[in-house]
Amino acid sequence: MAQGGDLEQLTSGAVDVVTEPELAERLANGRPLRVKLGIDPTASDIHLGFAVVLWKLRQFQDLGHTAVLILGDFTAQVGDPSGRSATRPRLTRDEVDAHAATYVEQIQQILSPERLEVRRNSEWLGTMGIEDVLRLSARTTVARMLERDDFDTRYSSGTPISVMEFLYPLLQGWDSVMVQADVELGGTDQLWNLLLARQLQQQEGQAPQVALTAPLLVGLDGEQKMSKSLGNYVGIAEPPAEQFGKLMSIPDDRMPEYYRYATGPVGEAPAFDADRPAVESKRALARAVVDRYHGAGAGEAAEAEFDRVFKSHDSPSDVPEHDVQSLADQADGDGRVRVSSLLVATGLASSGKDGKRLIEQGGVRRDGEPIADVDATVSLAELPGTTWQAGKRRWARFR
């Protein structure tokens, strides 16, 4: 069991540590710590931004501590502003369960199954009655709630805040009480919630958890934090070619932080050379990320595929194939189907509106030739053997 001297490694790359002396004392005691990380399974993919804090949790595991992963299957159905001006939509139980299963599978690409405790907060929150909720709500004040930045901003601007949203951080903090967390990890946007949990633990006679936050990785747009809902993310389970292609679009000025935080644990990143041409740096970064999540050599293979598609303008070697008959029910009396409908049916567009937008922007091609008319149709008889492209990285072929 590692002791004492691990403080520097565990705080490396952290933004906030509340408090460092408390963490040093607990490490010196030699007892394995219970290190909590809460995650609301509100989407199906884990991206490089969330992986930053997962790698920090892995560092705790490697030093002999227990990772306590809280799947917020109950709170995911409540709603959380999460530093944004609009609340998260509520999810159904089936949606939450599906996302949770995917999360656990993907998380094991980073966390060790040893020294890993996975809990669902429905274990304790799902059994609460109205009396329990009222008692919990009395643990803090409205004034304290309005100290949270996003609540304060929304209150000042007149944007509605529901009472339910005030309950969410209390429920999250109660998770820490129930699992007796010694440390809780989170992004910098979670600091207030982590500190509220300390307050609840103290009220219950527990030693308050150490709050340790990791930086928020900016998304591919170079402006907002990486988020699936914003479409600016790279999923850790995405295909190698998809990861490589996305990473080649990172703004040049964001390269240093991607090198530091996107390639794995802090301290294991390849060195960033500011004098190196940006395109070479991006290629090296993309290879490192793909290798990290798909194995040694996967990065070079993804790079070769990228060059084949974007330099030689060939179609990818693994284009998904579709049966023409899958479009039969969308064809008119003459056996023709709208191109916008074809895009949706093949997954090249999320909706008919999205398909028309792609066509208007010149992003749709058939066998390399652009489609210009948003109302264009195509005969089912001429589809077999054709290859379709939407944007830079989405392809489909008909058989």
3-state secondary structure of 265: coil
Type of residue at 74? F
- How far is it, in rounded angstroms, from Cα 219 to Cα 293? 18
- If you average pLDDT over residues 84-113, what whole number do you get? 77
**Tokens 């565990």 sit at which residue?**
10
The whole-number pLDDT of residue 19 equals: 94
For the segment 194-239, what is each residue's pLDDT rounded down to a tens digit?
999 999 999 999 999 999 999 999 999 999 999 877 778 999 998 9
- Angle at the Cα of 51 from the Cα atoms of 293 and 118, rounded to 5 degrees: 100
In this prediction, residue 45 has a pLDDT band, given cuts at 50, 70 and 90, of confident
CB 70 within 8 A of CB 38: yes
The whole-number pLDDT of residue 313 equals: 55
Type of residue at 160? P
The whole-number pLDDT of residue 2 equals: 44
Q: Is residue 88 over pLDDT 70?
A: no
C-beta atoms surrounding 77 within 10 Å: 17
- If you average pLDDT over residues 340-368, what whole number do you get? 83
In order of their start, the domains of the chain are 7-214 (3.40.50.620), 240-310 (no CATH), 321-398 (3.10.290.10)
**Tokens 């274990």 sit at which residue?**
123
**What DSSP letter does each residue of 9-70 carry, written as one string?**
HHHTT-SEEETHHHHHHHHHHTPPPEEEEEE---SS--BHHHHHHHHHHHHHHHTTPEEEEE
Tokens encoding 225: 């934090």
How would you classify the pairing of strands 34-39 and 66-71?
parallel
